[in-house]
Amino acid sequence: MYITEELICVIPLFFRSIHGVKLVFSPPPQTGIPYLGFVVSGRLDAMKQSKRGQRMYEMGELFAEEIERLGANYVSILLTPSFNDIRPFKWNGFMIDPLYTFVIDLEKPLEDILNDFNVSKRKIIKKKKHDGMYLVEDDDVSLLFDLSVERYEEQGLKFPITSKEYVTELRRYYPDQIKIYYIKDQDDNTVGAVMTTEHRRVTLWIGSVKPETKAPVNEFMYWEFIKKGKEENFPLLELGGADIPRLCAFKSQFNPAIETNYRIFKKDLVGKMAEWTYLNVCKKSKF
């Protein structure tokens, strides 16, 4: 987006028309990407609030005009955590949905991080109740994908990643930033799997733990990535799960901080009907 001749921001938009319903996303659905949205010029940070506020207001207006031009029935934009001035979009008729994730500060001493854990989780680490388990990096996309699909199906849900080929492509294009790890027990059985993104922070992105195992797999995994992240000088470990009640209670026991980002969205009557169909039919379908 340009204001006069000044480049203020760029935003990748993904447009799709399904049976006449016009949809706009950033990031696109079924990719597992947690946020995308606007990339704002660093010049805005150097501006005084009056000028920066004016530029942001104009940016909101330009974006609303573009959405109007596209004739979109449904718009969903997931913003990065660093993008927190969402007023221009609220003023232009977009609805706002705050989203949350859990992060652990890896710049703290390792002992302090451990002491912040819930007593029961701390005991598991200190008494090495996870003895025999080990973490191994691997290129096997198929096992990770199949375990994840199986875990979702057990909950009556469809795995929200488009395909195994998509995950394979991600690994091929970003081998240093997207990695796959498996957790093995002392008998070399796979008891868990996780795909991480490792760029500016370590994010536990896509993963699955075998539900029948009683071993403290998640506790072991979190502790291993805390140590690994510190060794490689990452400032944060992102656990996710802060928006999901059944995950939130467990992950809170590791005393993570809450980080907020926002979704801005707009939908007309047709868009609302399309959203309902997706949430109540497509998302729960195994086919």
Calculate what percentage of the chain has a pLDDT beyond 90.
72
The answer on 136 and 23 residing in a single domain is no
Residue 244 in domain? no
The answer on 135 and 89 residing in a single domain is no
pLDDT higher at 216 or 8 = 216
Non-local (6+) Cβ contacts of 143 within 8 A are: 182, 190, 193
Q: Average the pLDDT over 134-138 and give the result.
A: 95
Tokens for 194? Answer: 């996780």
In the structure, what pLDDT confidence band is assigned to residue 286 with cuts at 50, 70 and 90? very low
Q: Average the pLDDT over 120-133 and give the result.
A: 87
pTM for this prediction:
0.89
Residue pointed to by tokens 């447009």: 15
C-alpha distances in Å from residue 147, one per residue of 150, 182, 193, 212, 218:
5, 11, 8, 13, 15
In the structure, what pLDDT confidence band is assigned to residue 71 with cuts at 50, 70 and 90? very high
Tokens for 15? Answer: 């447009």
The answer on 200 and 167 residing in a single domain is yes
CATH code for the domain of 91: 3.40.630
The count of C-alpha atoms lying within 13 angstroms of the C-alpha of 261, restricted to the half-sphere facing its C-beta, is 18
Residue 248 in domain? no
Residue 76 in domain? yes
pLDDT at 227 exceeding the cut of 70: yes
Q: Average the pLDDT over 119-129 and give the result.
A: 89
Residue 59 in domain? yes
Q: Residue 283: its pLDDT value, please?
A: 57
Residue 242 in domain? no
pLDDT at 209 exceeding the cut of 80: no
pLDDT higher at 173 or 282 = 173
The answer on 128 and 43 residing in a single domain is no
Tell me how far apart the alpha carbons of residues 245 and 263 are, in angstroms, rounded to a whole number: 19
Tell me how far apart the alpha carbons of residues 247 and 261 are, in angstroms, rounded to a whole number: 18
The answer on 156 and 49 residing in a single domain is no
CATH code for the domain of 139: 3.40.630.30
The answer on 163 and 50 residing in a single domain is no
pLDDT at 97 exceeding the cut of 80: yes
The answer on 59 and 134 residing in a single domain is no
The answer on 229 and 168 residing in a single domain is yes
Q: Residue 127: its pLDDT value, please?
A: 84
CA-CA-CA-CA torsion for 151, 157, 161, 164, nearest 10 degrees? 50
The answer on 226 and 264 residing in a single domain is no
Q: Average the pLDDT over 187-214 and give the result.
A: 88
User: How many residues comprise the chain?
Assistant: 287
The answer on 151 and 72 residing in a single domain is no
- Structurally, how many domains does the chain consist of? 2
For residue 175, cis peptide bond before it (omega within 30 degrees of 0): no
Q: Residue 287: its pLDDT value, please?
A: 34
Q: Average the pLDDT over 269-284 and give the result.
A: 79
* Mean pLDDT of the chain, nearest integer: 91
Non-local (6+) Cβ contacts of 249 within 8 A are: none
The answer on 218 and 171 residing in a single domain is yes
Please count the other Cβ atoms lying within 10 Å of the Cβ belonging to residue 122.
16
Q: Average the pLDDT over 40-69 and give the result.
A: 91
Q: Whole domain around residue 203: which residue ranges?
A: 108-234
- Output the CA angle 41-33-12, nearest 5 degrees: 40
Please count the other Cβ atoms lying within 10 Å of the Cβ belonging to residue 64.
18
Q: Average the pLDDT over 216-245 and give the result.
A: 95
Give residue 109's Cα distance to chain centre: 26
